[in-house]
Amino acid sequence: MRLPGRLHRISQPLSLHVPPDAVATAHVPQHAYGGAYYALKAIAAADPAHALTAVQAEYEWQFRQLTEDIREEIMKRIVIRRSSRGVTIIIDKTGDF
């Protein structure tokens, strides 16, 4: 998939991580977060001035794509933080991760 203009240029380095994470999902369930995580990071990097709004919209879209039985468990691990330095996305690896 080719992304438009600026998003394509910024997301290229991030997108290099997605295929290995997608393949690794079969044997390491924690890698299933990789695609969603890197998509959110690319969106935040593409337009820092509007990152929070864009990232939240993508997060909500991802949330709706999951079945109800796993939705909360999966998405609670993807944390969006706003600070003076911008928007940061992390995967919460505490507890039973």
Report yes or no on 41 lying in a domain.
yes
| Residue from 32, 29, 25, 27 nearest 65 by CA | 32
Q: Is residue 96 part of a domain?
A: no
- Residue 68 sits in which domain range? 5-91
- Count how many domains the chain has: 1
25 is a domain residue: yes
Local structure of 66: helix, strand or coil: coil
Q: Which residue has the higher pLDDT, 6 or 77?
A: 77
Tell me the per-residue pLDDT of 14-64, one tens digit each, with 9 for 90 and over. 555 555 555 555 566 677 788 889 899 999 999 999 999 999 999 999 999
Residue 30 maps to a domain: yes
pLDDT (0 to 100) of residue 33: 82
Instruction: Give the pLDDT confidence score for residue 13 in this predicted structure.
Output: 54
* 97 belongs to a structural domain: no
pLDDT at residue 94 in the model: 92
63 within some domain: yes
The closest of 87, 83, 93, 86 to 33, measured between CA atoms, is: 93
Q: What is the mean pLDDT of residues 91-97?
A: 89
Yes or no: say if 34 and 22 are a contact pair by the CB < 8 Å rule.
Answer: yes
pTM over 0.85: no
